[in-house]
Chains A and B, each alone.
Chain A
């Protein structure tokens, strides 16, 4: 069997294993979904009127803020899901089964690839669920073309892939599930200080660079542009660069950690 077909075959076996885990024990994934959904409901129904007034000017309805909020929360959902990735990778590494995999003549990267593909699929499902809640509370895309929908989907998948590889690395360096969960906190904390909830220009001047120079803000702005027709500017390229950069970094980090002798 060629190296490539071996890699594909073993990776899909590992993917099946991870999906089986996710299906048997969905509580972790579902718990992680609660954060973005609660934030969505909180910001729409509790803070919604005030926020709308702040964004759309006095008289703007709550729907203006729903439109502003949903793209950011979709990306936050990805950040939240990948915390689960870090935890499950860390858990997995402490199991004897991984030692067994390492002594078998299988494609070495398949263990990690299985985790990554499984986690990206979970991210997509989570995004669809949170998106459905968004639609239920009044989110509507304004005149996005099929191509723009496709691009939005591609952006979400790419962003999920990038964050997942970083989360895998975090899981590999964490000695246990608690540590993994703590180490992965930035993935859910970063969107809180991005343009997800308020525009960057509405933040204090000293804080603006923090909100601006991080992966979530350009990705959120790009998604807004695609779904709502706002100005994307160079955010598209910035988002792409962040995704590719983080994916490559996370991949190399994870692979080098996995190749080290186990603890």
Chain B
């Protein structure tokens, strides 16, 4: 248990009769990026708010440990271990970027010279030195977000919550933020990241949990999640109708498109499956003009897990998934 940065059991929260979280279990090993993926209103922010001590969980929630500290019994110790950057910038717009940074340094009880040094360093690192003496309210969205994360890093937290850190950012700022996350993890920091962008989770996260209807619909690595959904297939395209018909005869479980002379064979895309497919084609003596392997991406996973009622819901993952 000690190597878990975040361990939460049966996280529950409801507002009035609206249940937001209905028993969410999380286990985030130290030094990893864990991504909570879900649509708007899935409860991602609520999870972050509870784990960062901003709001309390409902009674009936099990033990929550963050950084090895019991969240209910010792919230101050948890606060000392974490840093939070929310979806809405937590900067003081009335004062300058530099003053915001120095405020954080003071609240972390750094000495004056140490505070100045850390401030200058982080402003430089986040490309804010030029704007340092302007009021934060005049910053662009990307600059505010950079200032926000710079402020979070002042105390050198070992566990960082990033709640939709790239929502509303342009592609360049988004990639810059990804780079920041990678650097943090390289430094041994644990990151809990919420996002509604599948690509972001795919790019950054060691493990992903899909949050839906107040529970974890599925979790695992991006690869494991992709394997959960059907949809992977191999596509063979032909130009010669005779070869097309021969292949169709050799591969009975195939969806065929006579107009484009394309065959679609269900397949997980593993090496063994491909070899067997190619073997059967060789035996039949046909050669396709084009062969492409389609693996389901996280979009497929997301829609399969969180889609409408007509789509089959996957059973919830057992608590321990094999890595």
Interface residues of A (CB under 8 A from B): 1, 9-10, 13, 16-17, 20-21, 24-25, 95-97, 99-106, 261-262
Contacts and interface: CB of A to CB of B under 8 A. Distances in A.
Contacts of A104: 79, 107-108, 155
B151 interface: yes
Given A262-B54, A262-B55, A20 B82 contact: no
Given A20-B95, A101-B107, A104-B155, 19 more contacts: A9-B109, A10-B107, A17-B95, A17-B103, A20-B99, A21-B94, A24-B95, A96-B86, A96-B88, A96-B89, A96-B91, A97-B90, A97-B92, A99-B84, A100-B151, A103-B54, A104-B108, A105-B79, A261-B54
A103 B79 contact: yes
- Most B CB contacts (10 A, CB to CB) among A13, A95, A97 go to A97
B167 interface: no
Nearest to A102: B54
Contacts, number: 61
B259 to A, nearest CB: 56
A262 B46 CA distance: 12
A261 B95 contact: no
B52 interface: yes
Given A13-B106, A96-B86, A96-B88, A103 B56 contact: no
Contacts of B54: 99, 102-103, 261-262
Given A20-B95, A20-B99, A103-B82, A261 B55 contact: yes
Interface in B62-99: 76-77, 79-80, 82, 84, 86, 88-95, 99
A106 B135 CA distance: 24
Given A21-B95, A102-B54, A261-B55, A13 B103 contact: yes
Q: 5 tightest A-B contacts by CB?
A: A96-B90, A100-B90, A105-B80, A105-B79, A261-B55
Given A9-B109, A10-B107, A25-B94, A100 B84 contact: yes
B23 to A, nearest CB: 20
Given A20-B95, A21-B95, A96-B90, A103 B53 contact: yes
B90 A99 contact: yes
14 contacts: A9-B109, A13-B103, A17-B95, A25-B94, A95-B92, A97-B92, A99-B86, A103-B52, A103-B79, A104-B107, A104-B108, A104-B155, A261-B55, A262-B55
A103 B54 CA distance: 6
Interface in B92-127: 92-95, 99, 103, 106-109
A25 B88 CA distance: 23
Nearest to B154: A104
Contact of A105 (B76, B86, B89, B135): B76
A6 to B, nearest CB: 8
Contacts of A103: 52-54, 79, 82, 84
Contacts of B82: 103
A50 B91 CA distance: 54
B288 to A, nearest CB: 56
A242 to B, nearest CB: 34
Contacts of A9: 109
B94 A24 contact: yes
A101 B94 CA distance: 16
Contacts of A1: 109
Nearest to A24: B94
A105 B151 CA distance: 14
A131 B135 CA distance: 34
Contacts of A99: 54, 84, 86, 90
Contact of B93 (A13, A95, A105, A106): A95
A20 B94 CA distance: 9
Contacts of A95: 90, 92-93
A23 to B, nearest CB: 10
Contacts of B151: 100
B95 A102 contact: no
Contacts of A21: 94-95
A102 B53 contact: yes
Contact of B107 (A96, A106, A262): A106
Contacts of B56: 261
- Most B CB contacts (10 A, CB to CB) among A25, A106, A262 go to A106
A107 B87 CA distance: 25
- Most B CB contacts (10 A, CB to CB) among A21, A103, A106, A261 go to A103
Contacts of B93: 95
Contacts of B108: 104
